[in-house]
Amino acid sequence: MSDTEHHVPDDLPTHLTHFIDGEFVESVSGATFDVLDPVTNRPYATAAAGQAEDVDLAVAAASRAFTEGPWPRLKPRERARVLGRVADAVEASDARLAELETFDTGLPIRQALGQAQRAAENFRFFADLIVAQTDDAYKVPGSQLNYVNRKPVGVAGLITPWNTPFMLESWKLAPALASGCTVVLKPAEFTPLSASLWADIFREAGLPEGVFNLVNGLGEEAGDSLVRHPGVPLISFTGESSTGQLIFANAAPNLKGLSMELGGKSPAIVFADADIEAAIDSTLFGVFSLNGERCTAGSRILVERSIYDDFCARYAARAKNIVVGNPHDTATEVGALVHPEHFAKVMGYIDIGRSEGRLLAGGGRPENLPEGNYVSPTVFADVAPTARIFQEEIFGPVVTITPFDTDDEALRLANGVKYGLAAYLWTTDLVRAHTFAQNIDAGMVWLNSHNVRDLRTPFGGVKASGLGHEGGYRSIDFYTNQQAVHITLGPVHTPRFGIH
């Protein structure tokens, strides 16, 4: 395992502020909170703690920029040029972004670099998409022409999580800005560092003042104020299902548009006819990459009984060899979990799992890493579908393996949780692959693959895993209103009321 000396980036900020109406500002109250480094769990910075009055200022700035500023009225190509410059800036500084993200989140540096590059691609993608956007027109010859006039909705509230924060912020910022909306971003309080970089990136790219606003703070304070604010017609949220329920309730009085990507407990179903080596590669990566802190993690592996024992043995042997260590070491495959609170949660589930399954690998902290939020990749076999570690989202490097005998049983196990975000299916039987995939309760299904996604496709879940879809044109649909305009081209027969 890797345990090289801890790396601290040069020029690391010691205090993070809000960014409102083109200026870096403190909280009105002066309140702050500590930001921890997950390798040492010691505070390395303070951040301004936003309250309702700070959100009010940010929403007011975004509202002025929307109603009075140029951004919503620019031609798509003009907005696309700005987004292209954002993508260029992110690409040019991807190593620095990855370094800061790794320091703030504990993600392995190689994986953080990939996320920074994906963030650039998100901006480039939506820059292209907004230029290529087409809308429907319908004609009744000699009678009527109907067309769709697409308009940005207004101020979008974006609430983002602490796992891969910079990339997931780009996932919301890019389509919102491409659509002509102005935004207020509330990043996760555990990981505000990379979000602080957006202000200078946007300013240098030529984004007008007030279009992008950032308010740091706790979810129950700054986040809740943003959700409840009557001047914010849209909320896009990524996070836990329980938080999504609160947002749903608190957004209801103002009938806000909601897009919520929530938790997951995604199954990976491996049939006996699968390419077992490829399935092991993919299911290991699918749950242990990004430290297991990913919503689409294939954290429940269901294996056909005839290959079950062999699969378990080979999977556990590989899991034991995964390199756990300092996130900044390029050899590291699993780094430090984001925060001591989350570390305690994951370790609590491992303790529960000892009585619910057969421990094949991991089960605690690596012996050579006595400090920091490190968890060995943990594998439990023979896990019953009623077990808590089978049913509940752990969001860490922990996986369950469960056998099945028939396709019907596999489907019942796959669908037997409250979540429905992703699913992974391993088989060489083409008919089984499609029929089984279409019967899984999941917003996304991958056949013989891990999570490799084309940005044009819809992203979202069913059941407790989300509300609505984003990705491609679905994102543009969320951030815009589609107004139907009807034009009469000929005489219209109208019943003549009041004529006798």
Q: Looking at 101, 169, 221, 261, which residue is catalytic?
A: 261
d(CA 496, CA 152): 38
Q: Looking at 295, 304, 312, 470, which residue is catalytic?
A: 295
d(CA 326, CA 187): 25
Task: Kindly report the number of other CB atoms within 10 A of residue 77's CB atom.
Answer: 10
Main-chain phi, psi angles of 18, to 5 degrees: -80, 170
d(CA 380, CA 326): 25
146 in Cβ contact with 487 (< 8 Å): yes
Closest CA to 156 of 182, 130, 179, 174: 182
Main-chain phi, psi angles of 146, to 5 degrees: -125, 135
DSSP string, 8-37: --TT--SEE-EEETTEEE--TT--EEEEEE
Sheet holding 137-140, edge to edge: 137-140, 144-152, 480-488
445-477 b/e (C-beta count within 10 Å ≥ 16 → b): bbeeebbeeebeeebbbebbbbbbbbbbebbbb
d(CA 484, CA 136): 9
Sign, Cα dihedral of 41, 348, 216, 66:
positive
Tokens standing for 356? Answer: 């619910």
Would residue 221 show up in a list of annotated catalytic residues for this protein?
no
Sheet holding 182-186, edge to edge: 23-25, 18-20, 212-214, 182-186, 155-159, 234-238, 257-261, 466-467
Main-chain phi, psi angles of 320, to 5 degrees: -65, -20
SS3 of 496, please? coil
Would residue 261 show up in a list of annotated catalytic residues for this protein?
yes
CB within 8 A of 276, min separation 6: which ones? Answer: 270, 307, 310, 311, 314
424 in Cβ contact with 269 (< 8 Å): yes
d(CA 168, CA 151): 24
Could you say which DSSP state residue 6 is in?
Answer: P
Strand partners, 158: 185, 236
Tokens standing for 457? Answer: 């496709």
2 in Cβ contact with 305 (< 8 Å): no
Query: What positions carry a catalytic annotation?
Result: 261, 295
